[in-house]
Chain A
């Protein structure tokens, strides 16, 4: 049995194409049923996010399976296959396993290490499990993918640092102010970036928000949104000392906050430190403010630098992650190839033979006087019993032939007679996690 992957992602298709082939989670049952009813396709899972649409399936006929899934994707979305085909990639066997492990571990994401993708795959798998389109192999496969992703997350620092400017601002503020839970944020001007940063600050526990803007109505509107307080622009310096974090992004052509202003404000705060971020171009805050004792000023460029450094770190960590994936592929592939009919029969026979021989030796060594030939006879007897016992299951296994049944038999035999290779049960990961 082979695992195949067919799909497209942000690497191969624009958003216009991606949204055309997206599967809606509410209507996923029908395509899942169609998928596994395709000729040669045994199990199937459909993963559909805004950055990728992928189908994971098992088949005996790799080329035919891939072709039929491509056709299915085109037909289902009523797109001519010719226009879809250039954006599609497909993998099989080891490459398919690697691909899915990488996707689940967020190595193939637009922003490497972003955490959503794992949850999205888990949800997609949940649908497949619910509508029974996934079976023994894909169940094992995806559980394995989840545990690999978890390993990558805990053993590398792939997702440990901020990779957006707004979030970098929060991290930087924490480096100065420590705990943000009793801190107040002040927005000077109402730019989009400031708004986003303010949201991050509130999510990180900041206590209060003040908003000021040249048009007071706008300040009021934004303050409402954050359940904060609007401050008239003229009264900025009457209120500035209450702010621990100042985010400035006005469209003013000149500097609004000078070192002298900040010196006064900091004195009023008894030198409790203030954290400034100037997002405006041209600048709102005089760069010399950074020289004021107790004031820390950063610009978008500084934040950008942090983001770049963090991205570089993620890429370094991604290399470690690839190594982890390499190890895990070997293990899983071993299990997968052991699932074939022949390896199972061989394993089953050798397990029986092993038992037969140990028991035979025990019996013979316990006998003091043996009639001539008895050893040979016992050997023949036990062999005959073993062969008779194995005949029926072996034939059944061989005759199960193509189709999903054979996997069921193989899996049952492996579990009942303890023929497991490669995968341990602790690799199984609970979906709820």
Chain B
């Protein structure tokens, strides 16, 4: 069953991504509607697949790379569906869904060993920490997608290329606002995630902060987003500068996610 839901999800995401990419080139309300519908159904299938897997292994499948990537993808799609509803920005889907799809494909290619959950992870603090972290990652992923769109639209405006893509992309200020919203949601989540992670660390190994690569890079990510938020609120960093920082932040976040392993868990 897990396999069925997972395959269904993958299939629907492929179709939805194709539809969203098509929306960049063609004006069609039907296509837009179908893209959202397919993605929405895919999202539900993805949730079912995750629940099913969780039921099998008796915990949320976040502890290996396969499960983590799938969950990351799930959170991104969820966040996107929320923002699409709120701001009516279909084109955001053209930038975000391919990333989520790619994550899911990579996840499906990985082999998840049905490992026993290490006792160190059997802590509510860990699950709290992990869920919040993923939620913040999703928010930052959307912020990154919006930032790419911002830079693209800005360069079209500056070069006075009033082409089809220009017509499709949302207004700069709308993009800037979504970016700020993502930041305002993602940053507190990340903050609490890091704090709860430290508490878990203390409970598990008796030390709040280990300065292992994962923690260090998490801190760097946090500092970048802190700087971005601070700059925005005090000096008024927005637009191009904010977009570039937001992209850098997400790249660092991905490095943290993929590259750095916890010394205490793996």
Contact = CB atoms under 8 A, between A and B. Distances in A.
Interface residues of B, number: 20
Contacts of A177: 171-173
A305 B236 contact: no
Nearest to A297: B158
A30 interface: no
Nearest to B162: A306
A176 B173 contact: yes
B160 A305 contact: yes
Contact of B171 (A174, A269, A272): A174
A386 to B, nearest CB: 51
Contact of A176 (B160, B162, B172, B238): B172
B237 interface: yes
A291 to B, nearest CB: 8
A309 B165 CA distance: 13
B173 A273 contact: yes
Contacts of A270: 235-236
B239 A294 contact: yes
A44 to B, nearest CB: 40
Contacts of A332: none
Question: Among B27, B172, B240, which residue has the most Cβ atoms of chain A within 10 A?
Answer: B172
Question: Among B162, B170, B239, which residue has the most Cβ atoms of chain A within 10 A?
Answer: B162
A29 interface: no
A298 B232 CA distance: 27
A296 B157 contact: yes
A305 B163 CA distance: 11
A303 to B, nearest CB: 10
A290 interface: yes
Interface in A160-203: 172, 174-179
Given A270-B236, A305-B162, A309-B162, A293 B241 contact: yes
A302 interface: yes
Contacts of A176: 157, 171-173
B33 interface: no
Nearest to A302: B160
Interface string A122-135: 00000000000000
B173 A271 contact: no
Given A157-B27, A273-B172, A298-B160, A175 B235 contact: no
A178 B173 contact: yes
Contacts of B241: 293
Nearest to A175: B171
Interface string B160-191: 10100010001111100100000000000000
B158 A290 contact: yes
A18 B170 CA distance: 44
B28 to A, nearest CB: 11
Contacts of A305: 160, 162
Nearest to B237: A271
Contacts of B235: 270-271
Interface in A284-307: 290, 293-294, 296, 298, 302, 305-306
Given A157-B27, A306-B162, A309-B162, A175 B237 contact: no
A-B pairs, top 8 by smallest CB distance, nearest first, are A270-B236, A178-B173, A178-B171, A271-B236, A178-B174, A302-B160, A306-B162, A176-B172
6 contacts: A172-B162, A175-B157, A178-B173, A179-B173, A269-B236, A302-B162
